[in-house]
Amino acid sequence: VLTRLTGAPTILKLCLTLHVGHCPKEDISTQSLVDSEQMTADCRAKRYKQRKMKAIVITTGGGPEVLQLQQVEDPELKDDEVLIKVEATALNRADTLQRKGSYPPPKGASPYPGLECSGTIQAVGKNVLGWRVGDQVCALLSGGGYAEKVAVPAGQVLPIPLGVSLKEAAGLPEVACTVWSTVFMMSRLSARETFLVHGGSSGIGTFAIQIAKSKGATVFATAGNEEKLAFCKSLGADLCINYKTEDFVACVKEETGGKGVDVILDCIGAAYLQRNLDSLNFDGRLCIIGLQGGAVTEIKLNTLFPKRLTVQGSSQHEEHITEHYVVYKYSQATYISTDAPTSHQAFAFPKLKHSHILKTAAKNRAALRPRNPENKAMVVNEVEKNVWPEIGAGKVKPIIYKSFPLSEAGEAHKLMESNEHIGKILLVP
């Protein structure tokens, strides 16, 4: 009996302990054990379905006041997912757009905002390998971070980096995956190249400065006041430019001896497009990840061709989106297309309504949120291999500006939209 009790549910052990002295040994059959275990599993499943959690619900599209803390159903755990008890989640610009109603979650994703989190694994799906209940992790999400619990595909989960607290780790997955996939995987920034990041004091910017510097690049950053510029400098930026009082094109040209930078990470879009192109070196790469300065502009195409420039879009966060064009470099030619190059055509302008108008938009395959789980898992794996060691070595750290209780999500959104913060803003359930 003792051998057969090993590993049995607690309730079954209790029943057998009470009755073993009064029941013939043969009455404790294998079938009775199976029936008891099945009944226990059914009870557990029923209890799980009845569980509730607190989450931030967007009651209607609008301002921060539409973010309401409500009791909702626990997330349904799929076979390839883990359930995380959330320690903290971090704000991203996409959250504010989802709140306004201009950036709905992908099909099948949680309706609650939140694109990253940290916490402790509470349950694992039956097909999950490598993760256990009790593991402390952080994760890249398609949504659902503004809650006490979230279910996420196991491939999008990361261990907590060495030297980082569980709470602080909530501010890492989205910025790490965005910066690594755009600056390094897409734009191929390498050691001894020069890199310019706009919005250097933002969550993306503070991370980009550190990881680019740790990989051997010379780093330039723009910001809007002296406090933010000083902070960028403290993170390792070689040149800090006040975009409100200085011409960043002139500053870049002066610092590089007229050559320009090799890679630019831009969150502004239309308002900066021509100036970004003017700031690039030969074979320069511009990656646009936001449209805070608009989505439609005019550019001089003769800026692109002689310098063999590449413009790529990864704008999953912005509103006012219509069409999507990317300028690719193929061999020694540059052309504009809605798809990756497939032939040796020199120039192609599909759907281009006017030869000097370029519309950039969020329909790009580089965007993180709309990607399928397999693609996200690939990016997460690259981040763990290439970025996590830099964090563990102390070369890169999460920059946390302020934490709010989950119930004060509206106040956190007000702070983000004021642009007064440096680094990341956290919500704690």
What is the topology classification, in CATH, of domain 52-170+398-428? Quinone Oxidoreductase; Chain A, domain 1 (3.90.180)
Task: Give CA separation, 1 vs 15, 21, 27, 39, 81, in Å.
Answer: 12, 11, 11, 20, 36
Predicted TM-score of the model (pTM): 0.80
Residue with tokens 């399928």: 372
Give pLDDT, residue 50: 57
List of residues 6+ apart from 403 with CB closer than 8 A: 88, 167, 425, 426, 427, 428
As a whole number of angstroms, the distance between CA 27 and CA 345 comes to 80
Note the pLDDT tens digit of each residue in 369-405. Answer: 778 889 999 999 999 999 999 999 999 999 999 999 9
For the domain made up of 176-359, the CATH class stated in words is alpha beta
Domains 52-170+398-428 and 176-359 share a fold: no
Tokens at residue 105, please?
């979650």
Note the pLDDT tens digit of each residue in 302-358. Answer: 888 999 999 998 744 433 333 333 443 433 333 333 333 333 233 333 333 333 333
Give pLDDT, residue 368: 77
As a whole number of angstroms, the distance between CA 16 and CA 358 comes to 75
Helix, strand, coil percentages in the chain from 3-state DSSP, rounded to 5: 35, 25, 40
What is the average per-residue pLDDT within 113-140? 98
List of residues 6+ apart from 125 with CB closer than 8 A: 77, 78, 79, 80, 81, 82, 154
Per the DSSP assignment, residues forming a β-bridge with 404 are 427
Domain extents in the chain: 2-49, 52-170+398-428, 176-359
